[in-house]
Each structure stands twice: as structure tokens, then as C-alpha cells.
Amino acid sequence: MSTQTAPPLLSGPELGERLRALAGVDAVRPAAAGDAIGGVSAQWVVEPHSDRDAASLLRFATEAGLSVIPRGGGSKLSWGNPPQRADLLLCTLGLHRIVEHTWADMTVTVEAGCTIAELQRALAKHRQRLAVDPLWPERATVGGILSTNDTGALRLSYGGLRDLVIGLTLVLPDGTIAKSGGKVVKNVAGYDLPKLATGALGTLGVITQAIFRVHPLPAGTQTLQLQPAGLPGMQRTILDLLNSDLPCAQMQACLTSGAAPALYLGLEGTAAGLAAQEKTIRERMQPMPLSFATAEVWRARQDLWTPPKEGVYAAVAKLSVLPSKLMEVAAALDRLAQARQAQWRAVLQGTGIGWLRVEAAEPASAVELFREMRTAIESGGGSLTIAPLPPRSVAAELVNGGATALSAENAIDFWGGAGDALPLMAAVKRQFDPQRTLNPGRFVGGI
């Protein structure tokens, strides 16, 4: 896609005054150094407190030729390519209300700036929950997890966000407030805007409100740890469990270079139900070692983002493959890491979604490793995307050559190939955002 964009019609103090007139004095501030996205600085940060305010701001930005970057809690703002321009940051934290919890119908209507942890606490008062376990729930917002399609191991039994969201309010770049879906779980009338916007990284519109189906909180939970024999044994065990009728709510393999692999199963139910599930799994898995583990193991993905030690470069990548290919990917990662004297860790879910962390003494080693991993994964129909870490991480340096540590020829694209889907995605972007106001260049193929 073309990277050419027209310069904004307004900038500096004049722009600030116009924004304050639209959103209010307290809703606008100059952008600070910490508001930069992928090294690209914004001019102003605006925080609307209603759909109408957001619509007015977006209409004005489009007419004035300004680019807009939507932001929630900022926990995943580094995901995606650096924007081509970032005139305004539109912060959704002012939209944080839980509008309606219809607990008898098991639905909840919530604004995009509400954090997942806050939403879960409110739902728990009626013994219900949104069945997702995204990264950093205390910071991650409803709009943020929808835009990045970030779920977790619970996806195995409850489906992804596209299965859980049943209604959406999306403010389009021209100021249109579009609503799709409804408060009824079986509502399928109209254009499926919720599924389209989920995972679009805020490139089609700004999510301001969502309606979800919710589920009862389980009476109890239990985590079991299995220790299959090596990667082949791990793959056989995963497929055996997936093909069985055992009701595992979560499944996660944790692998570290040079260490024995571990497989974790999350069970839900009453005390009697948990005991029966545990007994069945023990009998089925004999003579494999099995023990109990704490619920902390389900936070293992978050540990992959720990800042590296001095003199070490680290990068994290997200992969998506067939569940039958998980250990094949792990074996390939191990071979490539050994060839470059690198260390690695992986957290792989039974759904085929996983996270890889690589640590190396030189940034170029991680770049080449992920290039080869991406080639192998994409050849099998999967995908691999880069997920930046804090400073001293190689990911911030390797994505699109955005930093000085690597030359442009050593850079690697955040997303990888889009295949035959790119023309269709580009056409959808043109339909929703013809002037490329929202997140220009951040999505697949520079959309």
C-alpha cells in the first residue's frame, strides 16, 4: 500500500484549541515522550467521554487530514507496524462504564475503556465471567483485547472473542456511529461488524462499546501438570487429549531449551466433578507422571515479556498453527536456536496458538531465527508475528528497521505475509477508512 499521506491542515496550538472546543478542556493534552508509538511521536492526546465526542473528533480529524491512533490501557500499543503518522492519540479510558449487566440473559454491555479486571470483578458479583484470559488484565481494556484479538488458554473450551462478542458500537472515521448485533445471544441479523472489527487493530473504526455473552463462574478449578517424554511425547499427549471426551477447560505446554517439557491442564467443576476428571486423566495418562500445580502457570505468557539482562537481546513472537504442528514448531525452534547459540522459551496452547521468546547476544541472530521460523510456519498455512518487549529487547529494533541497532536490510516485518487475503483486507480498509485516518500503515501489508 502507498505510504503517501497529505499533511494535516492544522497543527500546534491552533490544533489544540480546536480539539478542546470539540472535547472539552480537560479531555485534551499535549502528547508526551511516553505517548510515542513505535518511535513515532504524536501531537495531542484526546480522551472522549461519549460516543458523540469520539464521533466529532474523528470527523474533524478526517476533514483536517489528521491521523488518529486509538489507545486503551496501552498494554499492546507496541503491537503492529509503527504508524506512518500519529497526529492524535484517541484514548478510550474515559469510556469505562459497565452499561448494563443482564445477568439473567447472561449478557453484558460495557464501554471500550473498561479494563478486563474491572469487568470481571463486576460480573463476579453475580457469579459470572467473561470467559477470556488475556495478557495483563489489570491494564488491558475491552477495546484493546478486541482490536488485538487477545484471548488465552480458555479459548480451548469457550472459543475466541469473535465467538463471545455479540454486539459492537464502532465510530467510523467520518463520524458515523455504527452499531451491529444486539443483546440477544442468538442475534445474527445484519452485517457482522463485531467479527470484522475484532483483530483489525483499530484500522476500521474506534470501538466504543461491546456486548458480550458471559458464562457462569465455575464452582471450582484445578490445574494438573503432566510430564510427557520429550517433544514427540508431548505432541502425542496433546492430540490424545484433544481427541478424547475429557472436558479440559485449558491446555498449555511450557517448554524451555535444555529442560523437560511440561503440559498443564485446567479443569473446572464441582468438587466431585474435579475429582472424577482427575481420576480419568490419571488412568488415561498412566504411567506418565502427574501432579498438581497452582493457577499461576496460566500467567506463563506474561513472563515471556520480562526485560532481558544486560548484554542480552530478546524478542517474543506469536504463532498460530494447527495443534498437530505445535511440537514440530518447537523442534524447529530448538534446532535454529542451537545453531545460533540462543536460548528460547515457548508457551503453546492446545488451540494451536503459542508464544515464543528468544534470547541472543546479537540482534541479528534473533532476526534470522524468526525469519526462518516464519518461512517454515507460513509454508504450512500458519502465521508468526513479532511482539515487542521493553527496552533492550530486539523486537523494537527489528520491526521494519525502526531503530539504529539494525540496518534496513536486517529488518523484519511485524506481521509477515498476508497471502491471498491482502487485496480483500485492503478493499475493506478503503471502504471504512478511505482517507487512512486510523492507524495508517500499522496493519498487515501496511494497511
- The domain tally of the chain equals 4
Do residues 333 and 327 lie in contact, with contact meaning Cβ atoms separated by under 8 Å?
no
% of the chain at pLDDT higher than 70: 90
Please give the residue that has the higher pLDDT: either 315 or 59: 59
- Is residue 114 located within the same domain as residue 211? yes
- Is residue 411 located within the same domain as residue 384? yes
- Give the span between the Cα atoms of 182 and 167, in whole angstroms: 5
- Is residue 145 located within the same domain as residue 177? yes
In a domain, 423, yes or no: no
pLDDT for 39 beyond 60: yes
Residue 38 — very low, low, confident or very high, per pLDDT cuts 50/70/90?
confident
pLDDT for 62 beyond 70: yes
Range of the domain at 71: 12-92+431-446
In a domain, 397, yes or no: yes
- Give the span between the Cα atoms of 253 and 225, in whole angstroms: 10
Look up residue 424 and give its three cell numbers.
Answer: 480483500
The neighbour count for residue 319, using CB atoms within 10 Å, is: 22
pLDDT for 394 beyond 60: no
In a domain, 421, yes or no: no
In a domain, 425, yes or no: no
Look up residue 122 and give its three cell numbers.
Answer: 463486576
- Is residue 123 located within the same domain as residue 180? yes
Nearest to 429 by CA among 87, 166, 196: 196
- Give the span between the Cα atoms of 86 and 31, in whole angstroms: 10
Residue 191 — very low, low, confident or very high, per pLDDT cuts 50/70/90?
low
* Residue whose C-alpha cell reads 479440559 in the numeric block: 248
**Cβ-proximal residues to 141 (8 Å cutoff; 6+ apart), any chain:** 72, 73, 92, 93, 112, 113, 114, 115, 116
- Give the span between the Cα atoms of 353 and 243, in whole angstroms: 17
pLDDT digits (tens, 9 = 90+) for 277-326: 999 999 999 999 999 999 999 999 999 998 888 888 888 999 999 999 99
Which segments of 304-436 are extended strands (E)? 313-320, 343-349, 353-360, 383-387
- Is residue 276 located within the same domain as residue 209? no
Q: What is the average pLDDT across 401-412? A: 43
Helical (H) or strand (E) element with 262: strand 262-268
- Is residue 260 located within the same domain as residue 290? yes
Helices assigned H by DSSP within 352-421: 363-379, 395-398
Please give the residue that has the higher pLDDT: either 408 or 27: 27
pLDDT digits (tens, 9 = 90+) for 132-151: 999 999 999 999 999 999 99
- Is residue 361 located within the same domain as residue 387? yes
Please give the residue that has the higher pLDDT: either 75 or 410: 75
In a domain, 208, yes or no: yes
Q: What is the pLDDT of residue 19?
A: 95
In a domain, 424, yes or no: no
pLDDT for 398 beyond 50: no
Residue 395 — very low, low, confident or very high, per pLDDT cuts 50/70/90?
very low
